[in-house]
Structure 1
């Protein structure tokens, strides 16, 4: 499987490449970026890791044209992180970057047969906007949002005093303020658990403040390690078609009462993209949260539609 990482010189892109070295499956990894010296630095380093028995065939630098015959194009290019209160502040600037990075694929039209895995934020309105350009079907557009569920699992683990790996919990909805925690489906050690009000408050405090606390550090870095590993796991799910359900942002067509907007839902992935969206029956509060999240994402996508950047070249 050929995986092209656009933005491969950055922390998340290079972390995804590193973690992909040990993922299940065999990969040709190509790093693309506007900083060729950094690409060379990463590839010189990563190609030596192949000697440790990594599963990848090759790791090399490339050009945007490498994406044309890729099985998966990972898009992690973005403007530099700065102090902010919401991922939405990056919408217009990152839309311009996404527009330019995807230009070769858009112009190739039907000749491009791969998947686009979007990491650039705010992922939901960007994915909605790209889909509305009409050149790629929704099952081949996937947004990375696994971190939301991981943070919910960590917050619940801290509240309960258990290891995070023992917690199974899902965060659906928007990758941002419109996130929808599914407290109705929390399991610990495989067993259903109902959180007390105090435990739920503690978990929510962890989840709701994680992003603002991290950005306030002004470290200049994003969730490099988590996103890199999570991206590799999603690509592994695509390559193997294991049938495992994972959270990802995809454009919905009536699922969860949402039409034409991208939100995080439980999906099954395979080499052809989104194989199935799991239709879970949600309690009224959680179902209403999905509709509210869709309204938020729709507002962001509509803003892009009114800008020049939204017009494909």
Structure 2
């Protein structure tokens, strides 16, 4: 794909504009298109982002849905926010209509297009996007639990701070995944987590951890941020810019992303190899029977909703 790649971001709100800014900092695409049904929002964001253009040669401009469909990568952030008293099913119904309009307006697609879903509920919308777009499943995936996993690694790094200092283990040597739904039923794969090749469960500090409390803390961090400042956007922007960097440069890093998992007959997050063709391979990591059972329950709930679409 290479550094001359064109990236379109659907949705010019806080998340979309933060992703655009993160991509400017990365300096990996030749052009970023912002697309939104509100032209004033696009114009305002483009004018603001152009003031930061001195840090990058990447061009940022407004674009149409049809232009987006011919880009190399499209990031969909557009979606309805949950209203007070609104059920999850009602929210999904509204977001289905938005996604249907967005995808329909972008056709015909560049056949090699990578479609990255960021809007929530990301697992369900990813499955819907796979069906609506008609693109190969490996080219349509969601940001999934990548951000949750980053939050987990940050938490574990603080717990293992003394250990890391003593043994000289860098923070990025902590490998741990949040899997399943990007939501309340997500799980932490403790059985496969390790630091510097040593299982995390072998560390006394991890053995003493209240693991249920950690899981709740990670799953609810977004709620706390929303309560304090109204929305989350910097974390997901950083994650999406890293994913695009990985795709453009064909780095084939392993990330937990939302895709169709045959074993569970469901779209949710498992570790995958990400490259220029999208998802190159799904990694079958070792899980305990308890963790597998939790994933099955999570999959069952998601499948019942996806079946409607």
TM-score range, shorter chain: 0.7 to 0.9
Per the alignment, residue 180 of structure 2 pairs with: 173
Structure 2 distance, partners of 1:242, 1:50, is 26
Number of the residue aligned with 1:108: 108
Deviations 1:188-212 (A, max 9, x none): 4564321225342442241243234
After TM superposition, give the deviation of residue 42 of structure 1 in Å. 1.7
The answer for the alignment partner of 2:214 in structure 1 is 203
Kept in 2, the 8 Å contact 1:242–1:270? The answer is: yes
Residue 149 (structure 1) aligned with residue 149 (structure 2): yes
Look up the SS of the partner of 2:37 in the other structure. coil
2:302 pairs with 297, 302, 312, which one?
A: 297
| Rounded Cα–Cα distance in structure 1 between residues aligned with 2:125 and 2:290 | 26
Whole-angstrom distance in 1 between the partners of 2:299 and 2:75: 24
**8 Å Cα contact 1:86-1:176 kept in structure 2:** no
Question: Where does residue 308 of structure 1 map in the other structure?
Answer: none
**What is the DSSP-based 3-state SS (H/G/I as helix, E as strand, rest coil) of the residue aligned with 2:209?**
helix
What per-residue deviation string (whole Å, max 9, x for no partner) do you get for residues 76-102 of structure 1?
Answer: 001145557986663111111111111
Q: Secondary structure at the match of 1:266?
A: strand
Moved more, 235-244 or 146-155: 146-155
The 3-state SS of whatever aligns with 1:21 is helix
Report how far residue 123 of structure 1 moved: 0.9
- Are the counterparts in 1 of residues 151 and 218 from structure 2 also a CA contact under 8 Å? yes
Mapped to 1, the partners of 2:85 and 2:286 lie a distance apart of 35
Is contact 1:240–1:270 with CA below 8 Å preserved after alignment? yes
The within-5 A match list for 1:30-41 is: 30-41=33-44
Select 1:21's aligned residue among 21, 24, 39. 24
Residues 118, 144 of structure 1: 8 Å contact kept? yes
Q: 1:184 to 1:87 in 2, by over 3 A?
A: farther
Q: Secondary structure at the match of 1:142?
A: strand
Q: Paired residue for 2:95?
A: 94
Query: What is the distance in 2 between the residues matched to 1:112 and 1:68?
Result: 9
Asked if structure 2 preserves the Cα contact closer than 8 Å seen for 1:240 and 1:271, the reply is yes
CA contact (8 A) 2:255 2:273 kept: yes
Under a length normalisation based on structure 1, what TM-score does the superposition of the two structures give? Answer: 0.84
Do 1:85 and 1:212's aligned partners in 2 also have CA atoms closer than 8 Å?
no
Whole-Å Cα distance in 2 between the matches of residues 42 and 262 of structure 1? Answer: 33
Offset at residue 275 of structure 1 (A): 1.0
Give how far 1:214 is off: 3.5
Matching residue of 1:264: 269
Q: Gaps spanning 5+ residues in structure 2: where?
A: 165-169
Partner residue in 1 for 2:241: 232
Contact 1:159/1:202 (8 A) holds in 2 = no
CA distance in 2, matches of 1:65, 1:58: 18
- Aligned residue pairs: how many? 293
Question: Cα distance 1:287–1:74, how it changes in 2: closer, same or farther (>3 A)?
Answer: same
TM-score using structure 2 length: 0.85
